[in-house]
């Protein structure tokens, strides 16, 4: 067990470990070692970001998807899914509502809906940037061509979230139909980087077939790719997918991995995800206490929220955005953190450790 603490201390200083060393940490996860790691992760996060929690307004623009990922509730083969697509007016009105509440980042997420061509998205991004001065636009719209990523970036998009899902090719193939490829996923991440985005990758914890070696591969990939953002959350089954009967991923393992990621990249923007909040009533709070520093409240119109059902029982209060923000701010205050309205770009660790004072919400 001594070795666990030595390795954790070294990870904190050097921000990297050998695969076998990550494996050792994973194999020696106990309540005690997890708390040791979380304590370190909190200290590191506080040095870089203080106790500020950044909020991102999530707008689920469409649940229409041409892909058929085995884990996902909005896959094209799920004929029970009631499909919707927000209009430009609806999206802009979600942004306006969020802006008035203090949101300075809007995340446009959706299935791979062919309707959202560059010709549709570029003017929309321009309108969001013009009507919400100083905001950041994050896209999470799946795999696109290099030219498309560049066009959207040129139109003003700042960040792009595209989880790699797993850094192991065979495992990737277990999670996706043959028409999708690990190679293309990785190509997309490289193209996003080249286009000048702040890039987010990430993976599900406990997805079917995931082994400890796969998780080590994910950690090594993230260590090397050095994304600005990283989204991880437990896999949660959806009853109308081929993975309906698989168990959900481990809540505690997810927290443990959040702590490891914080030590690997101190300046990482690391959300306590909706999936984490779904499998545990205090999931988001415990995620923050494990080293996360971002939460992504839902700004989608209340009428469509239930339809963006990636997995069963997805956290979705019927509340208006304003009310859920008040609730979230209170939850964060209760654990000694504060929700801030700053744009919250990634801090390049080593370049800037002092952070500005932000307006408290």
Q: Which residues bind ligand SAH (CB under 6 A)?
A: 71-72, 109, 111-112, 140, 142, 162-163, 165, 204, 233, 235-236, 238, 275, 310-311
**Cβ atoms of 128 and 137 closer than 8 Å:** yes
Kindly state the smallest distance separating residue 159's Cβ from ligand SAH, in Å. Answer: 13
Of the pair 227, 233, the CB lying nearest ligand SAH is at 233
> Please, where are the H alpha helices in 102-160?
118-131, 146-154
In the complex, least distance from residue 314 CB atom to ligand SAH, rounded to whole angstroms: 9
φ and ψ at residue 215, rounded to 5 degrees: -65, -40
Nearer to ligand SAH, 54 or 311 (CB): 311
Between CA 53 and CA 332 the distance in angstroms is: 8
Alpha helices per DSSP H over 241-294: 251-264, 274-279, 283-289
Nearer to ligand SAH, 10 or 252 (CB): 252
Q: Does residue 127 sit in helix, strand or coil?
A: helix
What's the sign of the alpha-carbon dihedral 92, 297, 253, 198?
positive
Which residue number, 52 or 60, has a Cβ lying nearer to ligand SAH?
A: 60
Closer CB to ligand SAH, 103 or 311, in the complex: 311
What is the DSSP secondary structure assignment for residue 269, as one 8-state letter?
A: B
Q: Which tokens in the block code for residue 246?
A: 């698989």
Residue 140: both structure tokens together: 């999470």
Longest dimension (CA), the chain: 58
Strands (E), the chain: 52-55, 57-62, 105-110, 136-140, 159-161, 198-205, 229-234, 294-295, 338-340
Q: How far is the CB of 76 from ligand SAH (least distance, A)?
A: 12
Minimum distance, C-beta of residue 43 to ligand SAH, in the bound complex (Å): 29
Cβ 84 to ligand SAH shortest distance, Å: 15
β partners of residue 234: 205
Of residues 57 and 233, the one with the C-beta less far from ligand SAH: 233
Lookup: tokens for 210: 């995931």
Smallest gap from residue 348 Cβ to ligand SAH (A): 25
Q: What minimum distance in Å lies between the beta carbon of 338 and ligand SAH?
A: 27
3-class secondary structure, 299: coil
Distance of alpha carbon 302 from alpha carbon 313, whole angstroms: 15
Closer by beta carbon to ligand SAH, 88 or else 112: 112
């Amino acid at each position: 067990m001594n070795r666990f603490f030595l390795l954790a201390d070294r990870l904190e200083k050097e921000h990297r470990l050998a695969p076998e060393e990550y494996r050792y940490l994973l194999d020696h996860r106990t309540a005690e070692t997890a708390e040791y790691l979380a304590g370190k992760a909190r200290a590191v996060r506080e040095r870089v970001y203080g106790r500020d929690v950044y909020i991102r307004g999530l707008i689920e623009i469409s649940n229409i998807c041409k892909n058929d990922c085995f884990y996902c509730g909005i896959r094209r083969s799920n004929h029970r899914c009631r499909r919707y697509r927000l209009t430009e007016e609806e999206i802009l009105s979600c942004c306006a509502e969020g802006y008035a509440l203090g949101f300075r980042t809007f995340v446009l997420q959706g299935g791979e809906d062919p309707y959202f061509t560059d010709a549709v998205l570029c003017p929309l991004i321009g309108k969001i940037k013009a009507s919400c001065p100083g905001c950041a636009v994050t896209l999470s719209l799946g795999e696109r061509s290099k030219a498309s990523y560049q066009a959207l970036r040129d139109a003003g998009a700042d960040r792009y979230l595209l989880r790699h899902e797993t850094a192991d090719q065979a495992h990737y193939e277990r999670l996706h139909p043959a028409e999708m490829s690990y190679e293309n996923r990785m190509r997309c991440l490289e193209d996003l980087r080249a286009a000048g985005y702040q890039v987010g990758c990430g993976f599900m914890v406990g997805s079917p077939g995931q082994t400890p070696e796969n998780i080590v591969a994910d950690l090594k990939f993230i260590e090397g790719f050095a994304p600005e953002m990283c989204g991880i959350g437990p896999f949660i089954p959806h009853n109308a997918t081929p993975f309906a009967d698989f168990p959900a991923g481990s809540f505690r393992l997810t927290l443990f991995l959040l702590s490891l990621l914080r030590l690997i990249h101190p300046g990482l923007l690391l959300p306590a995800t909706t999936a984490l909040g779904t499998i545990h009533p205090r999931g988001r709070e415990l995620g923050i206490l494990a080293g996360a520093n971002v939460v992504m409240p839902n700004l989608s119109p209340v009428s469509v929220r239930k339809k963006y059902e990636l997995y069963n029982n997805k956290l979705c209060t019927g509340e208006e955005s304003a009310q859920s923000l008040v609730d979230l701010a209170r939850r964060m205050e209760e654990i000694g953190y504060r929700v801030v309205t700053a744009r919250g770009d990634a801090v390049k660790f080593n370049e800037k450790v002092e952070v500005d004072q932000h307006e408290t919400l």
